[in-house]
Amino acid sequence: MKHETESSTSHPTRRRFLGTAGTLAVGLALARGDNASAEVPYQGSPLAVRISSYGKFQDAAWEHLPSIGVHCMFLPVPKPEDVDATMTKLGQHNLRALVMRGDTDWSKDDCVDKLVPQLAICEKMGTRFMFLSVKCNGAPKEDVYGRLRRAGDAAKAHNVTLTFETHPELGTNGDVQLETMAAVNHPNVRVNFDTGNISYYNKGGDAVTELKKVVRMLGTMELKDHNLEPESWTFPVLGRGKVNFPEILKILRENKFAGPITIEFEGTKGVELDEAQTKQSIAEIGRASCRERV
């Protein structure tokens, strides 16, 4: 399934529909054909689906997600001129932007200045978590650490927490994430742990092992399945790959993680899905994992 860049959209509503990690565990058990009566993890993390999971059919996400019981989205920060329209659209579909992706060039010293307007948009929209792919792009790590710390100050002023993705060079695995967290040392800078990226970027990498190292430093959690082969673009529907989600959810439960959990479906290289197949792939886990919470 080939995916395009996430389209710009978002706005939180007062009514919240939260999927719990417990219902997610049941959904994964059903997807794998396991016994769904196993112990259900305790805690109620909000559950969202990343709009990029719809690939070139992102416009369909707005009606499809509520139809399968999902009322939270992971979106890119909209352009300033699109904010009001995005908020209106979210409200019309009874959706909220749980997490938004920010964008800046961390190799440049003005990167934080370019992030500040995006943080202001998050604050306006009520989105408290900004996802970032922090890459050095040739800059010394120490410089990027300092910029990320400054970005943490800016985020704090807007009541936003920054979460850096499980990407090279600053978030490749648990050890690297620990190194980055120690160097930045800011309460508004946390880890976004991506279960599928651990084995994609690290030969022999195990998401369970790496999560245990950083679970107390998480801001957001991203559930993505994988075939566990390094640099293999094989990211199936949750429960269809080889990531050990029952154990991952157990770790989250034991550590009482209550931050946002997002589901990402990136598909398999060379396999093109049509709109109906894309919706079905997302619905497989969405229907099982999301329930309205009172």
Domains of the chain listed by start with CATH number: 21-289 (3.20.20.150)
Tens digits of residue pLDDT in 250-275: 999 999 999 999 999 999 999 999 99
Tens digits of residue pLDDT in 189-206: 999 999 999 999 999 999
Tens digits of residue pLDDT in 82-124: 999 999 999 999 999 999 999 999 999 999 999 999 999 999 9
Tens digits of residue pLDDT in 33-74: 444 333 333 346 899 999 999 999 999 999 999 999 999 999
Q: Inform me whether the pLDDT recorded for 8 exceeds 90.
A: no
Write down the pLDDT at residue 284. 85
Mean of pLDDT values over 156-167: 98
**Per-residue DSSP letters for the chain?**
----PPPP-----SS-----HHHHHHHHHHHHT--TTSPPPP----EEEEGGGGGGGGGGHHHHHHHTT--EEEEEPPPGGGHHHHHHHHHHTT-EEEEEE----TTSTTHHHHHHHHHHHHHHHT--EEEE----TTS-HHHHHHHHHHHHHHHHHTT-EEEE-S-TTTSSSHHHHHHHHHHH--TTEEEEEEHHHHHHHSTT--HHHHHHHHGGGEEEEEE----S-TT--EE-STTSSS--HHHHHHHHHHTT--S-EEE---EETT----HHHHHHHHHHHHHHH-----
pTM for this structure? 0.86
